[in-house]
Structure 1
Amino acid sequence: MALLQSTKKMAKQGGFTLVEMVTVILILGILIVGVSSFVIFGTRIFVESSSIDQVLSQSRFAVERMTRDIRNAVPNSVRLNEANSGAFQCIELLPIESSSSYLNLPIYPDAAASTGTIIDNGLSVNSGQFAIVYPLANASIGGVNDIYQASRNKRFEVQSTSTTANEMTLTFTGAVQFTEQSTIKRIYFANQPISYCFESLAGVPDVKLYRYSDYGYIPDQPAPSGMGTGVLMAENISNSLLLEPAIKVTEQNLMTNSIVHLEPRFSVNGETFKYQHQVQVTNVP
């Protein structure tokens, strides 16, 4: 009797069979594979979406920054430099710091002088800025224009200013004589040119956009190597500058000012998108 009870007790305390354990392991394996696949798929979607959003954000920022600078450029200061090999495309311009109308300036045929007066409309003119009057494109004269060639006598450096009532007196670094009168007596003030360069670097699969500044006035538009170190503005730009330029410039004519066409193509995760944006230089001499 005691032996029978012991056998029944052992039967009640028995564990899982091998078949049951294998079945459970298989079921758990299937569940883990399914859950992990779902997690991996979701993570991949998140990573790809984040990459696309990042490229979209930086491309919008770069295009918007270029647009603002181009619209605020001194008239006839926009020029384009392209490498025949497709290694780079650079657009150079001179941003306006302030502008006003002049009352009295030493302009030919008047004699050279070291001072002039303008209307003080609340503008801020700092020492070291350049006063510019009636800049025109003169590609036939030395292959450059008025802005970048000092001998054209369209820009002169301001040494100091003083204000009386609604008039501001400009003192230049020496006796100056501007070449021509502005038809609307407009005077612009600016610091130094800036450049945006789309560059195809050796060993890099895509094109990068850099912004250069503080390199001074250079008569012949410089390549990126002649402007120091640039600030990275955007990357992931398709490497096809030779076949598909990122910048095009329509020169001014009697009907309209210069128009800059921004057409960079960005690529990310095997997908591409292209901007087709036109910017007009709104200022006139």
Structure 2
Amino acid sequence: MDLASKTINPRSGIRISRRPQQGFTLIELIIVITLTGIVASMISTITSHQMAAYIDMSARANLVNLAEASLRRISRDLHNAVPNSVRVSGSSLEFVPVAAAGRYRSAPSATAGSNYLDISTLDDSFQVLGNLTQPASGSRLVIYNFGWVDGSGPVAGSNLYGSVSSGTLSPAGSHVISPSGNDITVTDNGVNDLVTLDSAFQFSFNSPNKRFFVINGAASYVCDTGLGQINRYAGYGIQSSQPTNGAVAPLSSAASSALLVDHVESCSFSYAPGTTERKGIVTIMLTLIDNGERVRLINQVHVSNRS
């Protein structure tokens, strides 16, 4: 049966055959679907690789930012540490932050009412060359901390982590740091404020630059690879032995503790003490890891130990 329809052109009288329109055949449809699938698969493979590369790059960039921010924070703290107060033990770094500082009058002055610090004997007051804000309760004074150590630990009377002098290097009972509990009072004395200790005390050495430092305890960065963290502890009492465990005192009872960075795979600290001609150097190696991405940064911090 012929399904074609016929019409007659009224003008020409010619018969015109019209066949119904035909679509894709089944074979053509299969070919189109197959080709479309191949092209889509190729595009998906290319874009998935690009997306994976972008995600990996973003993860590495984030780890680098975390590591750099952590190293900058540690560097700032070390630059504000009491001279010769840095000490390390593997994955732990300890130092004594400076809360305030100034210069003291070290010799008599013709000015009426002048008061100087006499290192040769017990003394309980001295004038500051300038002004000083009243320190927080429990603060201590440090003058000319040598930071000397020997085989048995901090040398008495010359290292703020040690005990008072036995009389070998400096007068017996003297020290580079005022005793705990010997509170400091600052009196506004016009141009030169007056610092007074509750009890008279003898400092071990006279600072060549006549500098003193006010401190409120020690601070530590402790790396815990088990938890994948570096934590900062501050405001705890000065110890003769360096504390390295954040889970026990004095670090566990420190006045403040905070997470510095996580995703830590490994970290280490080393310290090369300086000399009178050369600054000390703290080397920090930090490796962070996240979802298989790993970055390792090394930073060296120059520590000025001039007192």
Using the size of structure 1 for normalisation, the TM-score is 0.79
Which segments of 5 or more consecutive residues in structure 1 lack a partner in the other structure? 83-88
Task: Specify the alignment match of 1:195 in structure 2.
Answer: 220
Distance 1:107 1:149, change over 3 A: farther
- CA deviation string 1:27-51 (max 9, x = no partner): 2212322232233222212211111
Query: Aligned partner of 1:231: which letter?
Result: A
Q: Is the 8 A contact 1:72 1:283 kept in 2?
A: no
**Bigger mean CA offset, 44-53 vs 214-223:** 214-223
- CA deviation string 1:41-93 (max 9, x = no partner): 222122111111111111111111212221221111001123xxxxxx11101
**Which structure 2 residues correspond to residues 128-167 of structure 1 after superposition, within 5 A?**
128=137, 129-140=139-150, 143-144=153-154, 146-149=159-162, 151=164, 153-156=175-178, 158-167=183-192
Distance 1:216 1:5, change over 3 A: same
Using the size of structure 2 for normalisation, the TM-score is 0.74
- Alpha-carbon distance in structure 1 between the residues aligned to 2:65 and 2:3: 81
Distance 1:142 1:65, change over 3 A: same
Task: Specify the alignment match of 1:126 in structure 2.
Answer: 135
Question: 1:272 Cα shift?
Answer: 4.5
Q: Which protein has the bigger helix share? A: 1
Q: Is the 8 A contact 1:208 1:236 kept in 2?
A: yes
Q: Is the 8 A contact 1:160 1:172 kept in 2?
A: yes
Query: Aligned partner of 1:71: which letter?
Result: H
Q: Is the 8 A contact 2:84 2:305 kept in 1?
A: no
DSSP-derived class of the 2:81 partner? coil
Which segments of 5 or more consecutive residues in structure 2 lack a partner in the other structure? 7-16, 106-114, 166-174
Structure whose CA Rg is larger:
2
Number of equivalent positions: 265
**Which structure 2 residues correspond to residues 230-269 of structure 1 after superposition, within 5 A?**
230-239=257-266, 246-266=268-288, 269=292
- Alpha-carbon distance in structure 2 between the residues aligned to 1:139 and 1:130: 21
**Which structure 2 residues correspond to residues 97-112 of structure 1 after superposition, within 5 A?**
97-103=99-105, 104=115, 107-112=118-123
DSSP-derived class of the 2:209 partner? coil
Q: Which of 90, 95, 98 is matched with 2:97 structurally?
A: 95
- Alpha-carbon distance in structure 1 between the residues aligned to 2:47 and 2:294: 24
Q: Is the 8 A contact 1:193 1:213 kept in 2?
A: yes
**Bigger mean CA offset, 24-33 vs 47-56:** 24-33
The answer to whether residue 239 in structure 2 is matched with residue 218 in structure 1 is yes
Distance 1:13 1:179, change over 3 A: same
Task: Specify the alignment match of 2:87 in structure 1.
Answer: 79
- CA deviation string 1:199-225 (max 9, x = no partner): 321xx6xx5332222233222110133
- CA deviation string 1:254-275 (max 9, x = no partner): 4324221223345565555442
Task: Specify the alignment match of 2:20 in structure 1.
Answer: 12
Distance 1:31 1:72, change over 3 A: same
**Which structure 2 residues correspond to residues 36-55 of structure 1 after superposition, within 5 A?**
36-55=44-63
Task: Specify the alignment match of 1:208 in structure 2.
Answer: 229
- Alpha-carbon distance in structure 2 between the residues aligned to 1:72 and 1:3: 98
- Alpha-carbon distance in structure 2 between the residues aligned to 1:61 and 1:43: 27
- Alpha-carbon distance in structure 2 between the residues aligned to 1:134 and 1:4: 113
Question: 1:116 Cα shift?
Answer: 2.8
Task: Specify the alignment match of 2:35 in structure 1.
Answer: 27
Question: 1:183 Cα shift?
Answer: 2.4
Q: Is the 8 A contact 1:161 1:171 kept in 2?
A: yes
Q: Which of 175, 179, 197 is matched with 1:172 structurally?
A: 197
DSSP-derived class of the 1:189 partner? strand
Sequence identity (%): 21
Task: Specify the alignment match of 1:284 in structure 2.
Answer: 306
DSSP-derived class of the 1:40 partner? helix
